[in-house]
Structure 1
Amino acid sequence: MSKNIDELLYEVLKEEEAPSLRLNRQILRKACLEGNNMNMRKVNRVAAAAIALSIAMVGTVTTYATYRYLHPSQIASQVSDNNALAKAFESEDAIEVNETQRSNGYEITLLGIVTGKGLEPYIPKEKIEKIQPKYTYAAFSIRKIDGSAIENRNFCIAPLIGGVPFIEGNAATLDVFSTCFVQDGILYELVQCDNLQIFADRGVWMSVVDFFGEERAAFQMDAATGAYSKVENYDGTSALFRLPLNVSKADKSAAEAYLDTIRKKAKDEAKEGRNGNTEFINEKDKIDDFLKTITAENIDQYFTRDENTVFTAKPDANNWIDFGSRYVKEEDMTYYGISGYLEYLIPDGEDFAITSISTSGGGDNSGTTLYIDVIFRNNDGSFTEAIYTSKKSLEELVK
């Protein structure tokens, strides 16, 4: 297997009514659209439980954003009940970026960033005097290139940290909180996340995609340098801004401690289960043993392949593979394949690997369906990905 069983079981040990892998991909695409309305402002926080996963016209230009768009301090004033954030965007600690990229019919501009304490948009008065953690804030404007009014929606804007895989550092684990509003046909989005300044020496990027989870397909991390870049011909909205952070303010020890905390939390959740489902946890060893028996030769004995999820692709010169997508008209649904560096998906020299696991059904193992996402190595140098559904309940499989 290409992953440690603890990582795979993270997907299994979830809520009692967890969606299948097939449905989960659709849910992830909608995650950044969900939120509460606050005085006509949209607010979105990606839940930690969401960690899993037209040809774009892409270009980078510099615009006179200072004159065309609201200033970050003005954006902060509109979405925040705490004027400290607006003042911070006007301080010498703020960094005005004003970089614009075009993608998928949108003009996306990173206006500015600032990091500080006590700047939360919604902060209880009784907590203002208390020591607050440092957060990083980024202000964006997004408009339609053709001049038409933009829809009132959240894009998924999230940090990517150099050398840190998306599965570890993403909108969920970095505690991203976003607020947006539309003014004069332009969407403004203010993003809050954990302190990014500590990672300045690694390189930090702000990524923009339509929905959470699509970062895995839209961007790739160089295995040698850790640097992120956009995937050519990605089918969707894609913008990637490298943050001009002051390298001298990086904190290596704090960065390592932060990443250790993320990894420990994921490991603990995999071992303990999010809902304290101890009965399920006690089955971990049985599930582990069962999955180790699954091979390319016997998989059809225990699982049925979902033909809509079958994708075949070849890796590029950098060993990056993108399995693409497929629209099924009869179901009015788009199915998405995975993407990433091949060495992270299937071990070198192996012809078969289970890349992820999910379940759906009852709270106990009885009636619970097991789904596995697998990759096969083909003789012509290509690889095939597919999702398989268990023929028997999980209880029967691991008894």
Structure 2
Amino acid sequence: MWTSIANLKENLNKITLDVHGDDDEELEIYGSENGRHSTFSDRRNSHTFAHSKPVSFSSLASGIDSPFNSEIGRYRAEIKKLQESEAEIKSLSVNYAALLKEKEEQIFRVNQENGSLKQNLNATNAAPSAARSEISKVSNNGINALKGKGDQSANRQHKSTSLVKNCYAGNQMSNGLSSKHDEELADLLEEKTRSLEAIQASHESQIKQFKMELEKEHDKLVNVQIRLQEEHKLNESFQEELKLLKSDKDKRSAELSKIRNESNEKTIEISRLQKELNRQEDESSDDTMENMKRLVATLEKENTHLKMEKNELEAALESSKKASTDKIDPIPSENLLENLICVEIDYCCYFVCNTLNPYLLPE
């Protein structure tokens, strides 16, 4: 029984040490993971602040980060539940150790009481035997004294006979007293024996009950240990999944930062192209103004030339009117002038359209 109790204590101490070791490891892992998460979040915040541009990507970032944050929150809640269950298991192990110590103290006290009762029983058994030996010694001494006096003179025959009778009567009286004392001692011994047997039976029943309770507690402890191992394995699997999610999140964050950098580069390129386009438009507008000025000057020259030709034609017409005879009809000459003017106007319109066409066509 003591070996089984010692084994239970040793197993309990091992379990408590394992529980404390697992708690320390989990706290270190959780602390390191929190540190990595905080540094990663600071680095990510500084990176986004340094690369912030007019183009906003907050909706894209929140859309990618939200499922990972929810998964991490769920795993953290499950890890917290596992830590609470481990705390309950530790409290149960401490309570079991206290109960085991109390049971050991009770068993030790019961063993001490059994030892003291056995000593009392041995003492009570030794007392009647000592009384019997004393009585036998007295009777033997009396008989030996009578035999020694039987060899004396005859005149003392009557006295010795009476002495023998008296001794015999005394021996009978002493034997009666001793038998009565023996009966009392036997009754007392029987009563003590019955009480000891009752106490021993009660102690044995208590010991059996304690053994049953210890077996139950041992079974509970085994179940708790199995549950703790399962929860520890589950916690390890959660930690692995959390690491995978964090690595995936880091990859997504790297891809997102890459996309942001590319977008910023594209934005810069678009701004540069817009500036170049504005510059080209300004230059083209300046060229258009110069061309329009040149066109206006050309049109003015053509207009002046047309006016001069018109004046010349009018002068020629007047001279032809004066030099013509009555046979020539004046109406055809007027029609000829009008036709010439229309030809000149068409020529000017054609020239203007061909000149302005490259600038008036839409791009």
TM category, shorter = under 0.3
Which structure is richer in relative contact order (CA contacts within 8 A, separation 6 or more)? 2
Q: TM-score, normalised by structure 1?
A: 0.15
Computing the radius of gyration over CA atoms, which structure comes out larger, 1 or 2? 2
More strand per residue: 1 or 2? 1
